[in-house]
Structure 1
Amino acid sequence: MSYKELALSYEKETNFGLFHSPVVPPDLSQARNLHHYCTYAANPYQAGLQPSEYSGWRAEEVAWHESCYIHTGLNPSPTYKFGGPDSFKFLNKYFGNSFGTFPINKGKHGIMCDEAGRVMMDGVLMRTGEEEFITYWLAPWVAYCVHTSGMDVWGEDLTEKVFLFQLGGPTSLQILDAASGVNLHDIPFFGMKKTKIAGAEVTIIRVGMAGSLAYEVHGNIEDSIPVFEMIMKAGQKYGIERLGVAAYNMTHWENGFPQAYIDFLFPWFENEAFAAFLSANGMVAGDLISNDALSGSMGKDLQKRYRNPIELGWGKTINYDHDFIGKEALMKIEEEGTYRQMTTLEWNIDDILEIHRSQFTEDPFQDIAMPDDFSFGHPSYHADMVLDQDGNEIGISTGRMIAWYYKKMISLCSIEKAQNIIGNEVYVLWGDPGTKQKKIRAKIVRYPYMDEGRNQKVDVSQIPVGTMD
């Protein structure tokens, strides 16, 4: 049964009245208490409505610091498997990563660029066999590359055949121990292990988006609901919190990890052959981005929304030991030394309050009341211009959020290298072009902002094995 057929069957059985995700059970009593629903239009693979909040974005946001969240809203995730005798030849041509060492059952943050060095896709790349790999969020570009490479590689689209749950926070490991009945402490960072939950075969990967200890659970879509219910049962003891779209987006921004479709866009439709490939597969530009959804002082120029991996903070992941698409462009950027670097901005509270106060006047600034600029209501791809003390444009700010755990408003910022000094004060220009605008003072602070108990550094040997009782 397809993803959509499964969803519609649940709708019919429950009279839910919505196109409900088939990977979690419809809960009408809970649905009545949800604060908001939104369309997650950023992901062209997803359909229907998703909760912006469950218990409220504040409580959900604290979960990855103090207990554990579970996020189910990434279903169906673009999932693509490929392999064949030319697998490593393929990787070396299309990925900026180094593959000198890539053990089986280990993963990487895969980065794929165009000839100009701009990111065409990024996501998780796992090696699952000698000549077999599985990717998450690298399709459809990776599928197009397999299709046109001329190499001895094969590909299979698994989207809608599988599910993905994310768990993050200090009790996430104990919850999965308890749910599986197996000690999972031996999974290294970006490692994977097969086990069973609720009798179903699953793969658990130690990776997450909030920066804290985190895992993903992957399996076949027909097993999703019993697996979800078992995880929730095990999680009651350890403070599990369901995460809506709003708090999920916030995980990235506290973690200093820019999100595709939200913090930056892909230059897909500048590649005519790829655009034709997408069109042939039923996807057009309008599925990905609406010009009306481009907000913020950066304006409507899509060119300013495209980014290279260096200015996204991923320069250390790029390795020039092989010839990959975009290598020459990125080397030139590095050599010129004028590139932007990723940092965190902490916004001035008094300036924010002045914007709030203006809402009660006849000439208000653009509203800043929502905890972020994307998750509530119609998605807005928001990007603000960053200025120096003399009013010169020096960067781009995205991912504005209220970091409730820290009681601060922060954003991610790609800023000119010379300006990236901790404590340096800059201005975020708030308001769309042609509207009343305000320069909000902002200070460059630590990056990433979430700086305690980070996943790759957590000594899980100090965490007790989780149990159901």
Structure 2
Amino acid sequence: MIFAPDSPIFEGSNVQTNIGFGWVPAEYSTTRDEFLASRETASIGFVLNNSPVYDVTGPEAAAFLNSVAVNKDFGPLETGASKHVVICNEQGYILADGVLLKLGENHFRTYWLAPVLDFFLTKSTLDVTGTWVLDEYFYQIDGPKSLEILEKVTGSDLHHLRFAQNATVSIAGAEAVVHRLGMSGALAYEVHGPSTVAREAYRQLRAAVEEVGGRPQGFWNYSLVNHTVAGYPNQVIHFLPPYRDSGPELAAYMESVIPFDIGVHGSASDDLSNAWVTPYDIGWGYLVNFDHEFPGKAALQAIASNRPRKVVTLEWNADDIGAAYSAQFRGADAVVYDRMSNDPVIAIADYAVGRMRIDYVLLNGEKIGLATGRTPAFVENRMISLAWLDVEHAAEGTEVTVLWGDIDHPKIEIRATVAQFPYYQGEFRNEKFDTSSIPRR
């Protein structure tokens, strides 16, 4: 299909990388150029074709979803509407998050909620069925020109779509769904359709992107830059689900479908639970509804009443970044230089082998939170990360330090300043942008 060696996604790529299920384009031009396209014109991405897609159907489908998610009221959801859904363990840590789309009465399609959702469904006594969807393509058109591109390719007026809404169109002679969502923070759309026309759909979309000066987007840019700059915390990049610490049944099930451990490094890797987050840690507390029963309810109620941490952006001090780099050359006292670079060839090595980094954030020598998802912000020319901080230290402008270095190795402190979250709040911010300012075709 789309990841086969003769796929059109490889056209023009200058580096490929193996991400566990096969080789994909890592880069087409440079990671900087590809990201800037999503700010200035548009980019086309293919990465989410590896998304686990899972349908939940049956007379009690909505009741089942209500029983496992922190959200509530899936029944009244209108056909064609969507929700960001979160599933937690009994301790309140996130096991899965993703998008749920209502396709029809008692029919819901989910992205990234399985395999955890499948585990809960196999234990349910409700009249509900789970089905893996294996025949859908998934592309992203991201950037200020994305609406114009999709209207040209589909021949449809999509101006009416607000953030998180969708519409059915035709691409490559087949029905497709265009969903107003994206990961760079700018105006963006997802395109879903049948895999039988996946290659032709990609060719048409990419041609329209390149016609306006846009670029194809490689795996490095999507994985290392977009989520942090946009303020969308993401599994593996920013946090890990505690699959193997949420009871023996879930551990055994996840071992059967994901038979590898995702490692953690950084100064905070001395405690694996530092890589786990609650919805409150990462700004998703507004999704939690206590008017129903779900796994983790009691734990989240206690957290909600006890001043939970707050998610922020950190801007890292450029001189200290240079000091961290030079510290690797200090002989026996060297600080491990661990892929802090604008060079994604180095940075992607961690992601490719299934490791993420998490470091302590300090204030006056005391631990006040955790930093993760470090990346260059190419528009602002800063090094940034996300961080979950004790709320009393989370005000913009607060000066902190990030403790850089691996456990059992020397460490160095890097000064950082609390900045706005999300970091990108520009004109085309997707949740807010009014597309009426874009001329109709």
Unaligned runs of 5+ in 2: none
Aligned to 1:63: 37
TM-score, scaled relative to structure 1? 0.87
Q: Following the alignment from structure 2 to structure 1, what is the Cα–Cα distance between the partners of residues 160 and 26?
A: 34
Q: Following the alignment from structure 2 to structure 1, what is the Cα–Cα distance between the partners of residues 279 and 18?
A: 28
Is contact 2:99-2:111 (8 Å) kept? yes
Q: Per the alignment, do residues 374 and 273 of structure 1 end up closer, same or farther by CA in structure 2, a change over 3 Å counting? A: farther
- Secondary structure of 1:167's counterpart equals strand
Aligned to 2:237: 262
Tell me whether 1:455 sits opposite 2:430 in the alignment: yes
Aligned to 1:141: 116
Mapping of residues 294-443 of structure 1, within 5 Å: 294-337=264-307, 339-359=308-328, 361-362=330-331, 364-367=334-337, 368-371=340-343, 374-376=347-349, 378-379=352-353, 380-389=355-364, 391-443=365-417
TM-score, scaled relative to structure 2? 0.93
Is contact 2:229-2:377 (8 Å) kept? yes
Aligned residues: 431
Aligned to 2:69: 95
- Secondary structure of 2:361's counterpart equals strand
State the Cα deviation string for residues 75-118 of structure 1 (Å, max 9, x = none).
22100011211122112111111327522111111101111111
State the Cα deviation string for residues 273-315 of structure 1 (Å, max 9, x = none).
1233334xx42441x42x4xx2211125322211111101111
Q: Per the alignment, do residues 169 and 25 of structure 1 end up closer, same or farther by CA in structure 2, a change over 3 Å counting? A: closer
Aligned to 1:178: 152
* Structure 1 residue 144 displacement after superposition: 1.5
Task: Look up the equivalent residue of 1:340 and give its one-letter code.
Answer: R
Aligned to 1:130: 105
Aligned to 1:276: 252
Q: Following the alignment from structure 2 to structure 1, what is the Cα–Cα distance between the partners of residues 285 and 171?
A: 37
Q: Following the alignment from structure 2 to structure 1, what is the Cα–Cα distance between the partners of residues 249 and 123?
A: 10
State the Cα deviation string for residues 406-425 of structure 1 (Å, max 9, x = none).
11110000111111111111
Q: Per the alignment, do residues 25 and 210 of structure 1 end up closer, same or farther by CA in structure 2, a change over 3 Å counting? A: closer
State the Cα deviation string for residues 324-370 of structure 1 (Å, max 9, x = none).
22111101111122x21100000011111222334555454332224
Aligned to 1:44: none
Q: Per the alignment, do residues 432 and 412 of structure 1 end up closer, same or farther by CA in structure 2, a change over 3 Å counting? A: same
Is contact 2:9-2:25 (8 Å) kept? no
Is contact 2:34-2:221 (8 Å) kept? yes
Unaligned runs of 5+ in 1: 15-21, 42-46
Aligned to 2:18: 39
Task: Look up the equivalent residue of 1:369 and give its one-letter code.
Answer: S
Is contact 2:187-2:429 (8 Å) kept? yes
Q: Following the alignment from structure 2 to structure 1, what is the Cα–Cα distance between the partners of residues 163 and 187?
A: 9
Aligned to 1:153: 128
- Secondary structure of 1:207's counterpart equals coil
Is contact 1:246-1:376 (8 Å) kept? no
Is contact 1:76-1:162 (8 Å) kept? no
Q: What's the % identity of the aligned pairs? A: 34
Aligned to 2:85: 110
State the Cα deviation string for residues 227-261 of structure 1 (Å, max 9, x = none).
00011122223222111122112111011111112
